[in-house]
Amino acid sequence: MGVAAPDETLAALNSVLSEVIDIVREAKRSRWLASSEAGLQAEFDRLFDDARSWAQLLIDRDEAHGVSPLVSMVTPAERTPPPLTPDGSVQETREVLVHHLEKLREHIGAALQQPQDDDVRQALDQVERAVTTHQEALGA
């Protein structure tokens, strides 16, 4: 396996960050949609809080490498939300978040295949462990 260029390594890290941002958006929206189920709403609250922490952690790693993470990412207006109606079922809401968590796990796996500094690798490992916890809580 060849050595990845620094740009490829940071691009892999930023793909993780981009997916985390999607999870923040969807978890926030899901909290409102699941208001009738307190247990599920509490899990969505935890996921929202954790995803915001993951985003900050990854942004800090980018900035430590002298990179502005937002330069290479799509804007919120360019992001395509999943087709979930405001009156979507709780099951639909759960499925959207499970899908995003699966995509995040894939992005983390790809990023870990790139040569990473120990601090970046630790950050990705931390996020991956938390993703597993949330997948289990959502029954994935």
Q: Report the pLDDT averaged over residues 106-126.
A: 92
For residues 90 and 17, what is the distance between their CA atoms, to the nearest angstrom? 26
What's the confidence (pLDDT) of residue 4?
46
Q: Residue 16: which domain range?
A: 6-137
Q: DSSP alpha helices (H): ranges in 34-117?
A: 38-64, 90-113
CATH code where residue 26 lies:
1.20.1260.10
- In-domain check, residue 122: yes
Q: Please check whether residue 100 lies inside any domain of the structure.
A: yes
Please indicate whether residue 65 or residue 77 has the higher confidence score (pLDDT): 65
Average pLDDT over residues 58-71: 82
CA dist list (Å): 111 to 51, 88, 107, 125: 17, 33, 6, 11
3-state percent breakdown (helix, strand, coil) of the chain, nearest 5: 75, 0, 25
Confidence of residue 66 (pLDDT cuts 50, 70, 90): confident
Distances (CA, A) of 38 to 29, 45, 69, 80, 130: 15, 10, 35, 28, 21
In a domain, 105, yes or no: yes
Tally the domains of the chain.
1
Q: Which amino acid is at 26?
A: E
Please, which pLDDT band fits residue 80 given cuts at 50, 70 and 90?
low
Answer yes or no: is 130 within a domain. Answer: yes
Residue identified by tokens 């759960």 is 94
Structural domain contains residue 1: no
* Residue 61, domain member (yes or no): yes
Identify which has the larger pLDDT, 84 or 43: 43
What's the pTM value of the predicted model, to 2 decimals? 0.83
Rounded mean pLDDT, 54-72: 83
Compute the average pLDDT of residues 22-51.
86
